[in-house]
Amino acid sequence: MNGTNEHRPSPDWQVLAVGGASGMGKTGVSRALARRYGVPVVEVDDIVEALLAVTLPEQLPEIHVWRTHPEAARQAPASVVERQIAVARVLAPAIEAIVANHVDTGTPVILEGDYILPVPMSPGGPVRGVFLHEDDEARVTANYLSREPEAGPQHHRARVSVLYGRWLAARARTAGVPVLAPRPWEDVAERVAEVVSDVG
């Protein structure tokens, strides 16, 4: 009616997974891509919240760990990363079910979150993925400070994010999934759209 969707490109995928560690710009990129293609965004954090609401810590201890052991987030960065990897692995079947549902029903969606694990994807297939990774701790610290100024410089969190991001990026490259630097911010959504496109 109003013509707002007239020039919107149609995605040549059913599911676009945008992964990477915290503080890498995934949410902003996903929202920009959602506007570009006119598709919804599903945040993995919402899946976590749903599981927290319907399970007990004894049933899914990895998912509940940050609530049952809040001190775990302040442990040595390598230890925190190990816990993040454990959460991602436990969440994998739930994420796979969401992906399969959108492929089966033909309803495009962007899936975004820290706990998305790279899986082998065929370039022309219905499921595409990209991982964002910033390897500069100072830059990630600045990102957090800009986003959450009341918390002050979050050096420990930035260190964890870079280490977890390196682990994800290595797995993504092994699986043949593109890994992009978030900077420059101005064109990252365009770069993601280009790298996941089946054109060319």
> Into how many domains does the chain fold?
1
Question: For residue 95, what are the contacts with CB-CB under 8 A and spacing of at least 6?
Answer: 44, 47, 111, 115, 116, 117
CATH assignment of the domain containing 156:
3.40.50.300
Tokens of 185: 């911010």
Q: Cα–Cα distances in Å, from 88 out to 20, 31, 76, 108?
A: 11, 22, 19, 23
164 assigned to some structural domain: yes
Across the chain, which has 200 residues, the per-10-residue mean pLDDT values are 60 94 94 95 96 96 96 96 97 94 95 92 84 95 93 95 97 94 92 80
pTM: 0.92
1 assigned to some structural domain: no
Looking at residue 197, its pLDDT comes to: 84
115 assigned to some structural domain: yes
Looking at residue 33, its pLDDT comes to: 96
Looking at residue 42, its pLDDT comes to: 96
Looking at residue 6, its pLDDT comes to: 55
What is the per-residue DSSP string for 63-79?
Answer: HHHHHH-GGGGGS-HHH
Looking at residue 149, its pLDDT comes to: 94
8 assigned to some structural domain: no
Question: How far is Cα 152 from Cα 133, in angstroms, rounded to an integer?
Answer: 22
Structural domain containing residue 69: 15-195
9 assigned to some structural domain: no
